[in-house]
Structure 1
């Protein structure tokens, strides 16, 4: 592991059930428990899966043609069992359309391969989920 490989965010409580995540570039996103609107952590998780693959696919296809439609729907079921809460049946569905013509035809032709390559090799988020990477948790200070 190197300094170049490190990715991090800091999450701060901003009010009852509300939090703000800040990345190393100073960008923020606010989220909460769902009782006051906004995204929940599970919804952010789903967005991260879809966003990661969307970015990969966009890079591969938009060099040939700008899409006329590009959306990614991600869903799954929240489950609870003896092991605790988790998501099951995660699915990612791309709806992408390109204009007619040589560039659009080329972009449409490589779309399935771009989606597969993102899933199989490139998308750090979904590949980490599928690998089952452990998450270490610790308490730094209580006073």
Structure 2
């Protein structure tokens, strides 16, 4: 598989409960949102927030380790003639850096880091915003 290819496999564990497995052997259980496991929609929200959080973390932590780093992702589920989907997607950062030169440098780069992630770096949110088609096949 080339460097650009990505892949996960999904296995059914029982009705409404599944496990995703990546090529590195990582495993993630998810289901129908009836239990504590994440639902597919929650995984999408976590993927968007997580992708941009990683970008921002790598950029800002070169300057200073954060004292607080929290990201919240929200959306509204809509059901209409176009089918089920999410609207009003919002990623909100709550970060704090220590006083001093390094903390100031991290605070100063923060708006640019968030913008760069959103406009260019985060593969997940860029894919959602660009509206990339999904090809569904039966084997």
Q: What's the TM-score bracket when you normalise by the shorter of the two chains? A: over 0.9
Post-superposition, which runs of at least 4 consecutive aligned residues in structure 1 deviate over 6 A? none
Pair 1:8 & 2:13 matched:
no
Counterpart mapping for 1:56-75 below 5 A: 56-75=55-74
Q: Give me the whole-angstrom Cα distance separating, in 2, the residues matched to 1:36 and 1:70.
A: 27
- Compute the displacement of 1:16 (Å): 1.5
- Compute the displacement of 1:37 (Å): 2.0
Question: Which runs of 5 or more residues in structure 1 are unaligned?
Answer: none
Q: Which string of whole-angstrom CA distances, capped at 9 and with x for unpartnered residues, describes residues 54-105 of structure 1?
A: 0000010001110000011000001111111000000000001001111011
Residue number in structure 2 paired with 1:134: 133
Pair 1:33 & 2:32 matched:
yes
Q: Give me the whole-angstrom Cα distance separating, in 2, the residues matched to 1:78 and 1:95.
A: 24
Query: What is the TM-score of this pair, normalised by structure 1?
Result: 0.95
Q: Give me the whole-angstrom Cα distance separating, in 2, the residues matched to 1:116 and 1:130.
A: 14
SS at match of 1:71: strand
Q: Give me the whole-angstrom Cα distance separating, in 2, the residues matched to 1:13 and 1:67.
A: 39
Give the length in aligned residue pairs.
139
- Compute the displacement of 1:139 (Å): 1.1
Q: Give me the whole-angstrom Cα distance separating, in 1, the residues matched to 2:95 and 2:62.
A: 14
